[in-house]
Amino acid sequence: MDVSCSKCGALHWKCEQLSTSTIARPLFGACCLSGKVELSAIRKPPRELLELYNGTSHESKHFLDNIRSYNSAFGLASLGVTVDKTVQDGHGPYVFKIQGALYHHVGSLLPKPATNPVYAQLYFYSSGEATNFRMQNNQGRGLRPTVMGILDQVLQQNHAYVQVFRTAYERLKEQREQHPNVQSEFFAVIQCEKGTDARRYNAPTADEVSVILPGDGSIAPDYRDLVLQYKDGPLKWIYETNASYQPSVYVLLFPYGENGWHTNMALNLPVTGADEEDPDDDGSGGGSRTRTKISILDYYAYRLHQCADDSDHIFQARALLQQWIVDGWAATDQRNLNWLKNNQKKLRIDLYK
């Protein structure tokens, strides 16, 4: 690939350029829709993590060989899916294939009695304690405590959602202590899109933990918000429309916790937009035929084109890269199916015109 898109800088083969391209101004549609999609550049990971990605040491090779297991050990949320292992029986390259639905879940911030903490719960312990629990939770996988310690330090210091979850934990703990006689539990609402620029998608801050409410959190104020319960709560579904869907699970791909795709991401359009159906319309009847938002497919297409300004560590993530791509495909497919479900009346009318 030796030609860069004049809009976003993504690398392409020359034969991929649009017919409207010129020698001085090559244009491509697959990466950024000829400039309509603008996302912030992917930052290089902190030095310690970058050395694990790029290093030639035995530690680096071990990390890359086991990157899915390490990512799972440090995820703030869980990935629920049935992995089809029949495609891994031979001696060919690794293949990540799933069966059925794929979903992200987040649990309560305190573990159940007599059980080890998992996922986000581990970030409220000291590094040594958390490493011991992670090693116990991943027995038989051959993971190393030295790598665990490095990753814990990197994420504790840099991942925005770790800081947000810790703030939620402290505020919920404070509410519980101030209201010991309240029978119901408390839950926190993280407004993941609060204050985000339409295309820059800043990482969240403690200010996003803006609501502390009594109850079990079973009724979320908004499907775009993230609901966290202090203890004894059921698993909460993180929808593909939630800005935390990506950084809460793929912590080693996005170690700074920048927000992922959500429905408020705007296309970079001129004054008048193209007259096309919006696949991200929610079916409420208030949508427009002019598409003004970046679709989830647009987002992943952009991210999967390597740009000169982006860190390339995601493309070095081996099995974790495959998982992220399959996850993105599943989320895109679910989004399209939801649109079809919510627009049946409109689709049936079109058949009889």
Dihedral Cα 276, 282, 284, 289, nearest 10 deg: -10
Stronger pLDDT, 343 or 97, i.e. the higher one? 343
Residue 353, both tokens: 């015109």
Closest CA to 85 of 72, 73, 98: 98
Residue type, 42: I
**How big, in percent rounded to 5, are the helix, strand and coil portions of the chain?**
35, 10, 50
Say which amino acid occupies 20.
T
- Out of 42-51, 61-70, 326-335, least confident range: 326-335
More confident residue, 279 or 248: 248
Residue 296 has pLDDT above 50, yes or no: yes
Helix axes 160-178, 145-158, angle to 10 degrees: 80
The answer to whether the Cα torsion of 43, 47, 49, 52 is positive or negative is positive
Categorize the per-residue pLDDT at 347 as very low, low, confident or very high, splitting at 50, 70 and 90.
confident
Please give the Cα distance from 75 to 235 (Å, whole number).
Answer: 15
Q: Report the C-alpha gap between 341 and 217 in whole angstroms.
A: 26
199/160 Cα distance (integer angstroms): 18
Closest to 332 in 3D by CA, of 322, 321, 324: 324
Residue 283: pLDDT band (50, 70, 90) is very low
- Closest by CA to 193, choosing from 202, 185, 184, 180, is 202
pLDDT value, residue 101: 63
Q: Is the pLDDT of residue 351 over 70?
A: no
Q: Residue 158 CB: number of other CB atoms within 10 A?
A: 19
Q: What pLDDT score was predicted for residue 251?
A: 98
Angle between helices 127-137 and 145-158 (to 10 degrees): 120
Q: Over range 106-130, report the average pLDDT.
A: 93
Residue 179's pLDDT is 81
| Distance (Å, whole) CA 85 – CA 83 | 6
Tell me what the mean pLDDT of segment 119-135 comes to.
Answer: 96
- Judged against a pLDDT cut of 60, whether residue 221 lies above it is answered with no
Q: Inform me whether the pLDDT recorded for 329 exceeds 60.
A: yes
Residue 83, token pair as written in the block: 């992995």
Per-residue pLDDT at 228: 82
Q: How confident is the model at residue 198 (pLDDT cuts 50, 70, 90)?
A: very low
Confidence band of 53 (pLDDT split at 50, 70, 90): very high
pLDDT for 254 beyond 60:
yes
Asked if residue 136 has pLDDT above 90, the reply is: yes
The pLDDT assigned to 311 comes to: 96
Beta bridge partners of 186: 214
When mean pLDDT is compared over 31-45, 71-85, 179-193, 327-341, the highest value belongs to 31-45
Residue 280 has pLDDT above 60, yes or no: no
